[in-house]
Structure 1
């Protein structure tokens, strides 16, 4: 249809509280749960539960909720209990391990497709005076992506780049193109 761009996009859904745990926010039909916490110094801490066996959260690197390789411009991110890529090297963080991801390090993480247990990951972003990766970003990013998936519509690249830029996150693209795309789009 030549004028299909004039049609209203499908309505997006607001993330809901988990029915079994009202302190958690539910994404992807409950396959990803997020708890918004604070550490002793008042920094935002996000605890996520990725459901094993889910096409969204437990499908290895192919999962819908797996972030692409990306860079935090200002935050040091601490994560645990997952498979990951950090500066081109793959590894596995086991329960109790602490993985420190410094600003500018290219990274991503995922729950292996053959995992039998859910992944519970806690991330603390330590961005100092540059708030970025925080509760608002997690709600907006995963809420938007989850809602698009549930509405069977593709996420807008413009919206994705806007959300990433709001959190001081860029895609890991050659020659700094990720940052440029954030600024241009």
Structure 2
């Protein structure tokens, strides 16, 4: 599990995640991370999280969200809460990197999933959108089906095809996750961050009134924006 100061990077999508408070710091309950999302249309595709809640707060730049079929642009100071089971996606169609505060409840399995996808990307085992090949994708999808469900292809088709592909993938030696991907690419200093409670049920896009997000410093000196 991740801890404050761990850095993870996806070279395919360009996303860089710096953990402010991780699952290892909170017994798996909570993740807070500063995430840099570069401009471009490299998106995962519409998906949902059956077993977790996400919150995105834009601190710099802008991020376009699709939430249950409705698109909106989130700008600095705005927060998007994604409830369990809500269809969503996000991408940066602005001219500069978007700096995002990402929060997740609970966090342990989510961290394992994201670490796996980023690790496969660093090893060159994903396509230009960051997706693994169909066999690896099916094995990972089966292991993390409470954490991530893609909305395409249709879920009925996934229920039929994924178990077959996953069985073939496991016969080929593939796993749903790999311990080596849990190792961060870097460690930096971050300011203290307090665990926050899960948003109330039904809370969605609202203006957030929060303090500044810590900016990490490889030299050991934290700053804020």
Q: Shared topology, TM-score over 0.5?
A: yes
With the length of structure 2 as denominator, give the TM-score of the two structures. 0.55
Structure 1 pair 165/78, CA: closer, same or farther in 2 (3 Å)? farther
- Residue among 49, 71, 89 paired with 1:72: 49
- Report which structure shows greater RCO (CA 8 Å, sep ≥6): 2
Q: CA deviation at 1:23?
A: 5.0
Q: CA deviation at 1:83?
A: 0.4
Q: Confirm whether residue 33 of structure 1 aligns to residue 16 of structure 2.
A: yes
Aligned to 1:24: 7
- Residue among 162, 175, 182 paired with 2:139: 162
Q: Confirm whether residue 176 of structure 1 aligns to residue 163 of structure 2.
A: no
Structure 1 pair 126/175, CA: closer, same or farther in 2 (3 Å)? same
**Deviations, residues 39-77 of structure 1 (Å, cap 9, x unaligned):** 7x82122322122xxxxxx223xx2xx111111011111
Asked if structure 2 preserves the Cα contact closer than 8 Å seen for 1:170 and 1:182, the reply is no
Distance 2:135 2:126 in 1: 19
Alignment size in residue pairs: 148
For 1:45-64, what aligned pairs fall within 5 Å after superposition?
45-51=32-38, 58-60=39-41, 63=42
Structure 1 pair 150/67, CA: closer, same or farther in 2 (3 Å)? closer
Aligned to 1:141: 117
Asked if structure 1 preserves the Cα contact closer than 8 Å seen for 2:15 and 2:36, the reply is yes
**Deviations, residues 53-109 of structure 1 (Å, cap 9, x unaligned):** xxxxx223xx2xx11111101111111331011101111111121111111111110
Aligned to 1:98: 79
Aligned to 1:118: 97
With the length of structure 1 as denominator, give the TM-score of the two structures. 0.65
